[in-house]
């Protein structure tokens, strides 16, 4: 099965990066523009919303939440996302900061949709990086590069 992979160097402590990935408010700051709903605890589920949507674009179950790794399993959302796993592995970077190893794994097959997701993940992970470093986030809609209605 194909996976989306990204490696990002973040000039911020691991704890700051972790808090942005593992909290409802943090997820809203770098990714969706709105806080996630639900609880970010192992075994719990949370939904992410973009724009004025009343229905979550995706629902994730928190599989793991450790200082060096956060794992979500997609339980609802776009068909190709169902059952996939999203992992944020946080490693100490040489000279300080954090290396973020991102994986969106378990796609059934490569597709145009997967390519658009990879592009947008890169943009949103850049938002996470710049936000963790300077507070200048570029969450949705600013961070969306590949539009789904195009």
pLDDT confidence of residue 51: 87
Confidence of residue 108 (pLDDT cuts 50, 70, 90): very high
Residue 30: give its domain's CATH number: 3.30.530.20
pLDDT confidence of residue 95: 84
Inside any domain, residue 36:
yes
- Hey, which residues does 46 pair with through a beta bridge? 38, 60
Confidence of residue 149 (pLDDT cuts 50, 70, 90): low
Residue 124 has pLDDT above 70, yes or no: yes
Dihedral, 119, 100, 42, 115 alpha carbons, nearest 10: 10
Number of domains in the chain: 1
Inside any domain, residue 106:
yes
Residues near 97 by Cβ (< 8 Å), separated by ≥ 6?
A: 9, 10, 11, 12, 13
pLDDT confidence of residue 150: 44
Inside any domain, residue 66:
yes
Inside any domain, residue 147:
no
The neighbour count for residue 9, using CB atoms within 10 Å, is 12
Inside any domain, residue 149:
no
pLDDT confidence of residue 1: 80
Helix (H, G, I), strand (E, B) or coil at 129: helix
Three-state SS annotation for 57-70 = CEEEEEEEEECCEE
* Average confidence (pLDDT) over 117-141: 96
Q: Which residues of 61-83 are buried (b: 16+ CB within 10 A; e: fewer)?
A: bbeebeeebbbbbbeebeebbee
Q: The tokens of 7 are what?
A: 């490696």
For residues 114 and 86, give the distance between their C-alpha atoms in angstroms, rounded to a whole number: 13
pLDDT confidence of residue 148: 67
pLDDT confidence of residue 127: 97
pLDDT digits (tens, 9 = 90+) for 16-70: 999 999 999 999 999 999 999 999 999 999 999 998 889 999 999 999 999 999 9
* Average confidence (pLDDT) over 78-87: 97
Tell me the average pLDDT of the chain: 95
Q: Domain range spanning residue 83?
A: 4-134
* Average confidence (pLDDT) over 111-129: 96
């Amino acid at each position: 099965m194909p996976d989306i992979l990204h490696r990002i160097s973040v000039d911020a402590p691991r704890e700051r990066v972790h808090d942005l990935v593992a909290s409802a408010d943090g997820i809203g700051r770098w990714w969706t523009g709105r806080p996630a709903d639900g609880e970010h605890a192992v075994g719990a589920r949370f939904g992410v919303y973009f724009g004025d949507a009343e229905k979550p674009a995706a629902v994730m179950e928190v599989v793991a939440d450790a200082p060096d790794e956060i794992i979500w399993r997609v339980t609802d959302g776009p068909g190709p996302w169902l059952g996939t796993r999203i992992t944020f592995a946080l490693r100490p970077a040489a000279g300080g900061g954090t290396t973020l190893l991102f994986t969106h794994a378990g796609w059934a097959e490569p597709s145009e949709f997967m390519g658009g997701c990879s592009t947008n993940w890169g943009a949103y992970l850049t938002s996470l990086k710049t936000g963790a470093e300077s507070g200048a986030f570029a969450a949705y809609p600013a961070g969306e590069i590949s539009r789904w209605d195009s």
